[in-house]
């Protein structure tokens, strides 16, 4: 498991079990929402589902951007990935979301995880 994911799991587990240190406290939906840094008044399950959906969109974008390799009778060739605009268009077509929405997701995750392909990002690699 990549170190960044392991660290997030541990952070989350500690945050939701911290109230259990006291005999009178329990973990609640509020505790979980705070651990996931979900805005007050919002429900954790839909927020986590939306986050997962957006993360899938982010990885799908990079799958289309990545150069791939294809075997031909004469050997292997590189197949260039799609341009930024073409990858966005594919996502718009596939998901029925606006380009602005998709760009917003891409911007959010780029800020959170760094620019560039997550396969080349050390935060997503095995230690």
Other C-beta atoms within 10 Å of 33: how many? Answer: 20
Q: How confident is the model at residue 10 (pLDDT cuts 50, 70, 90)?
A: confident
pLDDT in tens, 75-107: 898 888 899 999 999 999 999 999 999 999 999
Could you tell me the two tokens for 70? 């294809």
CA 122 vs CA 16, 65, 114, 117, 118: distances in Å: 28, 18, 10, 10, 8
Q: What is the pLDDT of residues 19-70, one digit of tens each?
A: 777 666 777 777 777 777 777 777 777 877 888 899 899 989 999 998 888 8
* Residue extents of the structural domains in the chain: 1-43, 45-126
Which of 36, 29, 30 has its CA nearest to residue 14?
36
């Amino acid at each position: 498991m990549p170190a960044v994911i392991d660290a997030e799991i541990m952070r989350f587990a500690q945050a939701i079990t911290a109230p259990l240190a006291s005999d009178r406290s329990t973990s609640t939906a509020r505790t979980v929402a705070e651990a996931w840094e979900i805005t007050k008044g919002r429900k954790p399950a839909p927020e986590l589902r939306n986050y997962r959906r957006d993360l899938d969109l982010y990885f799908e974008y990079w799958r289309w951007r990545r150069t791939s390799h294809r075997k031909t009778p004469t050997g292997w060739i590189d197949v260039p990935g799609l341009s930024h605009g073409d990858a966005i268009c594919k996502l718009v077509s596939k998901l029925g979301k606006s380009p602005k929405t998709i760009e917003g997701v891409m911007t959010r995750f780029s800020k959170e995880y760094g620019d560039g392909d997550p396969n080349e990002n050390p935060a997503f690699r095995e230690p």
